[in-house]
Amino acid sequence: MALRKVRIQGDPVLEKTCKEVKEITPRIRELIEDMLDTMYEENGVGLAAPQVGVLKRIVVIDVGEGPYIMINPVIEETSGSQTGYEGCLSLPGKSGMVTRANHVRVRAFDENMDEYVLEGEELLARAICHECDHLNGIMYTSLVEGELYNNEELPAEEE
Ligand code: NI
């Protein structure tokens, strides 16, 4: 198990557009393993390669149903909307209200470069949108409605 240092907002690597992965190399396999280890260690539900300083289109997501590895993900369809608090390992201890699609269909490649399509709703849809944004240099803070809160000062969500 190897942990990588998570880059914090303000690091220019988080504002860059990532490059497509052409083939799986031993270094990329190691990167994916390390991203999973780092995400679980930090109790995150997703992590994108630029968050560990690598400008490649790779994300890992686990909202509690086992990990998804997404290489070169493309969101093909979105529908509905959800508004709720969102946070990011690159901005520890903070959250803000963000509206996302409630249903997302994404096409990606797994760790063997086999293509697959995944449909996600609610938290999974939110995580897919959030992590894919990272690959284009977008932090959720640019989408926050209202204030960015410290986690211990979060107002209750309206029902
Ligand atoms: Ni994030």
Torsion over CA: 97, 99, 103, 108 (sign): negative
* Cα–Cα distance for residue pair 140/131, rounded to 1 Å: 9
Q: What is the pLDDT of residues 12-51, one digit of tens each?
A: 999 999 999 999 999 999 999 999 999 999 999 999 999 9
User: Confidence band (pLDDT; 50, 70, 90) for 150?
Assistant: very high
Catalytic residues: 131
Contact partners, residue 46, CB within 8 Å, separation at least 6: 39, 59, 60, 61, 62, 63, 127, 130, 131
Going from the Cα of 52 to the center of ligand 1, the distance in angstroms, rounded, reads 11
* Selection from 107, 135, 105 nearest residue 121 by Cα: 105
Going from the Cα of 22 to the center of ligand 1, the distance in angstroms, rounded, reads 24
Please give the pLDDT value at position 159. Answer: 56
Q: What is the pLDDT of residues 50-107, one digit of tens each?
A: 999 999 999 999 999 999 999 999 999 999 999 999 999 999 999 999 999 999 999 9
3-state secondary structure 64-128: CCCCEEEEEEEEEEEECCEEEEECCCCCCCEEEEEEECCEEEEEEECCCCCEEEEEEEHHHHHHH
Q: Is the pTM of this model over 0.85?
A: yes
Does position 156 have pLDDT exceeding 60, yes or no?
yes
CA atoms within 13 A on the CB side of 104: 23
Going from the Cα of 23 to the center of ligand 1, the distance in angstroms, rounded, reads 25
Q: What is the pLDDT of residues 110-147, one digit of tens each?
A: 999 999 999 999 999 999 999 999 999 999 999 999 99
